[in-house]
Structure 1
Amino acid sequence: MGDIIFVSLGMIVIDEIRFPDGKILYDVPGGSGLYSTLGARLAVADATNRIGCLVLAGRDFPASVVNTLKGWDITLRLQQADDRLSTRGLLQYQGINFKDRVFKYTTTPLQPTPTDFINHPLLLRSSAFHFLASPHDLKVSIPVLRALRHNNVAPAQHLLVWEPAPASCHSKFRDEHLRAARLVDVYSPNHSELLAVFGSLNTLPFSFDSKTIQDLALQLLHSGIGPTGQGAVVIRCGEHGSLAVSNSYPARWFPAFYDGSSSKVVDATGAGNSFLGALTVKLAQGADLTAAVIMGTVAASLAIEQIGLPERVDESETETWNGFNVQSRVEEYRAKLERDINVSRVR
């Protein structure tokens, strides 16, 4: 087995999902840690055990979720606390098409931190880490992670991708965001979070404006991403696609795999996390931002085709998710990008 190339410090949450018609689903796995791990797993065609996953579980953690993760053939570490309950949440869908939803935790969340890797040195040596954290928690965690890696003789070089915690995305924390972004290689809020950080969510109803998003992304970039200023800003914009930019990569917009009216879009939960897991893995493997965003877009497309996780089938050495081969979908998306470029040239 090669070295681990991805670990998330996001949470794995066990959801109860309630629908407007009264239907209830129990023990549905979710959370940023799970969906980013899904995205990372989708981005790896072979050597899947190079994807690491730390599960902080309580005494009630469902065996079905453990079996699902084992079925992904990843390097799984289950850290169970028999005196605690697992992280659980209540997700209530309202209105049509599940676009309106309300979430709350129903148990005390078990949030992974770098110290949880002390007993898992294999994961600690990962070449890339995904964080979902507030600026404060990120600034606390990164020095701890570096010290632990140093003590375990892990390579000094490692990729850090930061997904800001939604609750921390407010203009009163803007300066903290800008300072924390200098600690990571990729800073990736979604477009609503970006607008909230810069105090630009004042107009209702919300109207998506790509120019405003790009202008704010450039402000972030110019304030400095990464210790040497060579990091990237990636803004995830849901049905509007994504924007990637760095000092060596001119701002580029990528369309979503599905447009907002597609009947294939069932539930957008976890799409952004899956996008970042896949993007992180590709960057850790040395890919450029274009290839990384393409894989992220494909991973997000597979996360939104159903409630919960996509279905994996492995037959005759050919793996499919929801009946699709990941690489075939990557090629389909690349062809879409090429068509869009050609249309732009004609115009």
Structure 2
Amino acid sequence: MSEQCLFTSMGMFIIDEIHFPENSGKESHYNVIGGGGTYGALGSRIISGFKNSQKIGWIIDKGNDFPSEVESYLKSWETGAIWRGTPERLTTRGWNMYGDREFRDFKYLSEKKRITVDDLLKYEQLLNSESFHLICSPQRSLEILSSLNKARLSNVSNPIIIWEPVPDLCLPENLQDCLSVLKNLDVLTPNAEEAARFFGKPEPTTKEEHESIAQQFLPYLTHDSQFQTGSGIVLRAGAEGCYVLTNKGVSKWFPAYHNNANPNRSVIDPTGGGNTFIGGFTTGFVMSKGNWEIAAICGNISAGIAIEQIGMPKFDNIAGKGDFWNGKSINDRISDYVKWNGIDVDVGKVLEILI
């Protein structure tokens, strides 16, 4: 594959163990596919469809313990993943303990292998991608962007940059570093609790509180993308969906896929929902040439698919019918989401852009 990617994630691939308290009655799960890069690629793959699947760029470092069933499943997506054999090491593995109120404790069980711009230099299609998903500290995001600017071809457009701050660093002492990054971004997308923590505030509970927090970032989001639709913050609000606020006048809420309007509402495990949202949002944004509304729809639908089970969704590509995730086509999911929530968009035009 040599053509330019639509989407490239700088996040990692991880194999997870998932555990619950002894009194929960829930069983532990092993060899669960995870990692921010993986979930970002999932969101992108959901929206890209089969015709663009090879334009999804990410790196999978395959240790000497890599499960064959995991490899078979991921290869069924037919993305542009770079598979790197690292037989001298174990695959990056994580341990997750879930408690009440979506509490999550996490630690690495094996050494992590971070993705850097140097890793992209060997793969022109990744290096010159149309968009990048960053999950890192403010300082590292600046280093990545500087390296990308130096290494990319001069005849390709500037990429769409979407940054997800590392949750542990969303603290008041890091606020100024965060704000200093924003002029270089197209999209800032923390979840609401993380965004509030930058200002020493509790998680917002009303739409007004969400909007107030988002507004505090907006003056620093001064960049304009190649699509000339501005830059903005997409505040991820879990079951409430997302709030989009841009420097060109967009201020709008988009409901979560699994809300009360959905007759098939089924949320099993929220793990990876945020990363999957970002992959879907970014890919929708690029494919629609900067349409924030279409991107938000894509993000919410992608996240909805990610949280319908523990780990990855069931995937099938049916000849003549396209992709099915957990038994439902992306066409039907988009049509239903728009109808259930009364969103004023032309579904036919959205599908024409994406499918």
Q: Under a length normalisation based on structure 2, what TM-score does the superposition of the two structures give?
A: 0.88
What residue is the counterpart of 1:43 in the other structure?
A: 47
Asked if residue 307 in structure 1 is aligned to residue 310 in structure 2, the reply is yes
Amino acid corresponding to residue 141 of structure 1 in structure 2: I
- Per-residue CA deviation, residues 108-153 of structure 1 (Å, 9 max, x unaligned), is 2111111111222221121111010110110111111121214xx5
Tell me how far apart the structure 1 counterparts of residues 84 and 230 of structure 2 sit (CA, whole Å).
36
Tell me how far apart the structure 2 counterparts of residues 246 and 100 of structure 1 sit (CA, whole Å).
31
How far did 1:340 drift? 9.4
Amino acid corresponding to residue 86 of structure 1 in structure 2: T
What residue is the counterpart of 2:349 in the other structure?
A: none
What residue is the counterpart of 1:28 in the other structure?
A: 32
CA contact (8 A) 2:185 2:221 kept: no
Tell me how far apart the structure 1 counterparts of residues 301 and 4 of structure 2 sit (CA, whole Å).
25
Amino acid corresponding to residue 35 of structure 2 in structure 1: G
SS at the partner of 2:317?
A: strand
SS at the partner of 1:75?
A: coil
For 1:241-320, what aligned pairs fall within 5 Å after superposition?
241-259=241-259, 264-285=266-287, 286-318=289-321, 319-320=323-324
How far did 1:239 drift? 0.4
CA contact (8 A) 2:130 2:158 kept: yes
SS at the partner of 1:243?
A: strand
CA contact (8 A) 1:183 1:227 kept: no
How far did 1:333 drift? 1.1
For 1:1-347, what aligned pairs fall within 5 Å after superposition?
2-19=3-20, 20-21=24-25, 23-45=27-49, 46-95=51-100, 99-150=102-153, 155-201=156-202, 208-226=205-223, 230-259=230-259, 264-285=266-287, 286-318=289-321, 319-338=323-342
CA contact (8 A) 2:12 2:59 kept: no
CA contact (8 A) 1:36 1:276 kept: yes
CA contact (8 A) 2:221 2:247 kept: no
Tell me how far apart the structure 2 counterparts of residues 298 and 86 of structure 1 sit (CA, whole Å).
30
Structure 1 vs Structure 2 CA RMSD: 2.3
How far did 1:23 drift? 2.3
Question: 132-141 or 77-86: which moved more?
Answer: 77-86
SS at the partner of 2:133?
A: strand
The structure-2 alpha-carbon separation of the partners of 1:224 and 1:94, relative to structure 1 and needing over 3 Å to count, comes to closer
SS at the partner of 2:250?
A: strand
Tell me how far apart the structure 2 counterparts of residues 263 and 335 of structure 1 sit (CA, whole Å).
15
CA contact (8 A) 1:182 1:227 kept: no
How far did 1:231 drift? 1.2
Amino acid corresponding to residue 271 of structure 1 in structure 2: G
Tell me how far apart the structure 1 counterparts of residues 257 and 26 of structure 2 sit (CA, whole Å).
31
How far did 1:303 drift? 0.5
CA contact (8 A) 2:117 2:144 kept: yes
Tell me how far apart the structure 2 counterparts of residues 24 and 217 of structure 1 sit (CA, whole Å).
37
What residue is the counterpart of 1:344 in the other structure?
A: none
Q: Identify unmatched segments of 5+ residues in structure 1.
A: 342-347
Tell me how far apart the structure 2 counterparts of residues 223 and 22 of structure 1 sit (CA, whole Å).
45
CA contact (8 A) 1:231 1:246 kept: yes
CA contact (8 A) 1:12 1:87 kept: yes
How far did 1:69 drift? 1.6
SS at the partner of 2:83?
A: strand
Tell me how far apart the structure 1 counterparts of residues 115 and 299 of structure 2 sit (CA, whole Å).
23
Question: 288-297 or 210-219: which moved more?
Answer: 210-219
How far did 1:249 drift? 3.2
Q: Under a length normalisation based on structure 1, what TM-score does the superposition of the two structures give?
A: 0.90
Tell me how far apart the structure 2 counterparts of residues 296 and 183 of structure 1 sit (CA, whole Å).
22
Tell me how far apart the structure 2 counterparts of residues 43 and 233 of structure 1 sit (CA, whole Å).
21
SS at the partner of 1:107?
A: coil
How far did 1:167 drift? 1.1
CA contact (8 A) 1:311 1:321 kept: yes
Tell me how far apart the structure 1 counterparts of residues 224 and 301 of structure 2 sit (CA, whole Å).
30
